[in-house]
């Protein structure tokens, strides 16, 4: 494996970035899912209460959501990730989502 890396290094035009196997590039996508405004968030409410108990004053509201980090095959489009959100990752009745690529 390391030998492959060294051979690859020899062929590279750009300076070595410190990573072997850089030929295996994946796309990353990040999806943020939050409860819509007006939807009760008991988990966030529990966190707010706990912060108060710990002596943190001035915490006026807490809402908790999800981050989902996806390692995707190269060339996956944002449209595909949006489809994943609509079909599985977010419950669009009560949750909103935001997709971040790269």
The answer to the question of residue 40 lying near its own copies (CB under 8 A) is no
CB of 85 to its own copies, least distance (A): 11
DSSP state, residue 86: I
- Which pair of tokens denotes residue 37? 């405004």
- Tell me whether residue 21 is exposed, middle or buried, using C-beta atoms within 10 angstroms of its C-beta: 0 to 12, 13 to 18, 19 or more: exposed
Binding mask 70-99 for its own copies (x = CB under 8 A): xxxx--x---x--xx--xxx----------
- Which pair of tokens denotes residue 90? 């977010």
CB of 11 to its own copies, least distance (A): 25
The answer to the question of residue 69 lying near its own copies (CB under 8 A) is yes
The answer to the question of residue 23 lying near its own copies (CB under 8 A) is no
Please tell me whether residue 27 adopts helix, strand or coil conformation: strand
- Which pair of tokens denotes residue 96? 């909103």
Footprint of its own copies (CB under 8 A): 26, 32, 34, 44, 47, 50-51, 54, 56-73, 76, 80, 83-84, 87-89
């Amino acid at each position: 494996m390391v030998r492959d890396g060294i051979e690859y290094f020899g062929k590279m035009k750009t300076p070595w970035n410190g990573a072997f196997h850089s030929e295996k590039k994946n796309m990353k996508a990040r999806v943020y899912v939050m409860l819509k405004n007006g939807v009760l968030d008991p988990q966030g409410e529990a966190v707010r209460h706990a912060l108060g108990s710990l002596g943190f004053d001035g915490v006026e509201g807490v809402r908790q959501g999800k981050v989902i980090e996806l390692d995707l095959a190269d060339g996956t489009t944002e449209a595909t990730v949006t489809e994943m959100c609509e079909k599985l990752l977010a419950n669009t009745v009560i949750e909103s989502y935001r997709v971040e690529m790269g």
